[in-house]
Structure 1
Amino acid sequence: MLKKISLFGTAAAILCAASNSAYADKLQDVLDRGYLLAGSGSTNAPWHFKDENNDLVGFDIDMLRLIAKGLFDDPTKVEFVNQSGDARIPNLATDKVDVTCQFMTVTAGRAQQVEFTVPYYREGVGLMLMADGEYADYDDLKKAGSDITVSVLQNVYAEEMVHTALPDAQVDQYESVDLMYQALNSGRASATATDQSSLSWFIAQNPNRYKDAGYGWNPQTYSCAVKPGDQRWLNFVNSVLREAMTGVEFNTYSASYKKWFGAELTPPTIGFPVEFK
């Protein structure tokens, strides 16, 4: 009889340990630690980069500070882990970071390895023009056909990408962003094709020199990511991001959006929730 009780107690202990393991609670772990471990980069304006004071800034950084604020009512309670693009998923898998916000494009393949949050930005390709240049907008560029040249960052898909929007344009590929912009400045290119976020940031820094042609294509969704298996933590991060875009932190989100992309956002309509329209 005593032996049976002992075995029962051992089995119960094993089940209890397994249960505790199965119900790991990242949210509580982060709260107990007292700060957020946040994965991001440091070299890509306007997403994550060092400013003139050597402080880490950018739209991704603002999103991570919002998560820290949601956790501790203090956006400074975050430790940033500088990581390369190919470390974003491994660092989540090995718990080196609690969350990654690093202009991460949502794909079906990646969704098998991480849990993506609700989107916080939609990327795409845009066309930048000289403010006082020959062409007023996208329609002018398209009408010009093969008379125009578009500068673009060198890539195996660059020519195909440009021709999706401007089928007859000449395409010049450059090894760096600086050379791509120099082609536009010198008149060797009629327009520059680049990420819409980079275009918006560059125009915001040079408002009287450049303009947006007003056409975007090749949409990509940017979301933060967390390690799979902890629904409570995913729900929490989703709540922070959703309310940043539609609720109590909208003023913070919209101020960040204007700072980095130069655009005013329309406040969410009061009444029926916009996300269900």
Structure 2
Amino acid sequence: MLIVGTGNGNPPWHFQDEKGEFAGFDISLARILAKGLFNDPTKVQFVVQAADARIPSLLTDKVDINFQFMTITALRAQQVQFSIPYYREGVGLLMNNASPFKDYNTLLAAGTRVKVSVLQNVTADDMVHAALPKAQVLQLDSEANAIQAVDSKRADAGAVDASTVRWLTIKFPGKYKDSGFGWFANWYAASVKPGDDIWLTFVNTVLLDAMGGLEWPTYKAEYAKYFGITLADPPVGFPDALRLYQSTGHLRLQ
């Protein structure tokens, strides 16, 4: 049995569906790994944990691996070993369908007339202004409240994870729209306890196979399910893994 650390209540990554079963893109990848290990995608036990428990759970052998939208950073790489990336995250702008603004370009052109809601933190203003230099910034105490500000039209757009934008526009197409712009990109990867290179190599092999090999149809279907994007099939005979990552991240490398 594969023991996987993950979260709950964070669609489209890891949550429980209406049947009470684990769902989300992280969950799908964990099942692909279980299939690679046991030829059975159901042979996986999910351990729900807070984000700050991801590293301790690995180091104390509570889990075999984390699939929990974990951003690769140099500091974290001193404590755990990361797999190859499986998603390129970033910040997106969620808009109300009833907004008078059409997309990112109209938000940008509106200058100081635009108000953007965002999760409160010390870099929030700088982050928003990197995309919309003249926008007013409305800092709120949770991402849920940043989204609610878009619902109530207190904000013209909400600066939230790009994957959240994709998920909400899929689930509520009559309510939300995507501005079409993303920035502040970062990689998501699985993480394992340091020191077992055979295990890490196996994980990487399974992920690479999923992102362009025999398990590609499963990866492609799950990606479309949770992000609303149908990925182009990697061309046969094309060996460039970096370009492969470009095709599987919501934000493309430039």
The verdict on a shared fold, with TM-score over 0.5 as the criterion, is yes
Check whether the contact 1:99–1:227 (CA below 8 A) recurs between aligned residues: yes
Q: Please, which of 93, 111, 131 is the counterpart of residue 165 of structure 1?
A: 131
User: SS at the partner of 2:71?
Assistant: coil
Residue 204 to residue 223, structure 1, CA distance change in 2 (3 Å): same
Give the match for residue 102 of structure 2.
136
The 5 A counterparts of 1:93-104 are 93-104=59-70
In structure 2, stretches of 5+ residues that fail to align are 244-254
Deviations 1:27-80 (A, max 9, x none): xxxxxxxx1111111121111111111111111111111100000110000111
How large is the Cα RMSD of the aligned pairs?
1.3
Identity fraction in percent: 53
Gap runs ≥5 in structure 1: 1-34
Mapped to 1, the partners of 2:152 and 2:60 lie a distance apart of: 48
Q: Which residue matches 2:78?
A: 112
Which residue among 106, 113, 121 is the counterpart of 2:87? 121
- Correspondence for 1:243 among 204, 209, 213: 209
Is residue 150 of structure 1 aligned with residue 119 of structure 2? no
1:244·1:252 contact (CA, 8 Å) conserved in 2?
yes
Partner of 1:7: none
Tell me which amino acid in the other structure corresponds to 1:136: K
Structure with greater proportional helix content = 1
Comparing 265-274 with 116-125, which one deviates more in the overlay? 265-274
For 1:94 and 1:148, locate their aligned partners in 2 and report how far apart those are by CA, in whole Å: 48
Q: Aligned partners of 1:261 and 1:189: how far apart in 2?
A: 24
Mark the CA change 1:178 to 1:100 in structure 2 (over 3 Å): closer, same or farther: closer
The count of residues paired between Structure 1 and Structure 2 equals: 243
- Give the partner amino acid of 1:258: A
Amino acid at match of 1:187: K
Between the aligned partners of 2:15 and 2:162, the Cα distance in structure 1 is 18
Alignment of 1:202-217 (within 5 A): 202-217=168-183
**Structure-2 separation of matches of 1:276 and 1:62:** 22
Give the ranges of 4+ consecutive aligned residues of structure 1 lying more than 3 Å apart after TM superposition.
Answer: none
Larger Rg over CA atoms: 1
Is the 1:268–1:274 contact (alpha carbons within 8 Å) kept by the matching residues of 2?
no
| TM-score for the superposition, normalised by structure 1 | 0.84
| AA at the equivalent of 1:181 | I
Q: Name the counterpart of 1:64.
A: 30
Q: 1:260 deviation in Å?
A: 0.9
Q: Give the deviation of 1:276 after TM superposition.
A: 5.7
Check whether the contact 1:48–1:61 (CA below 8 A) recurs between aligned residues: yes
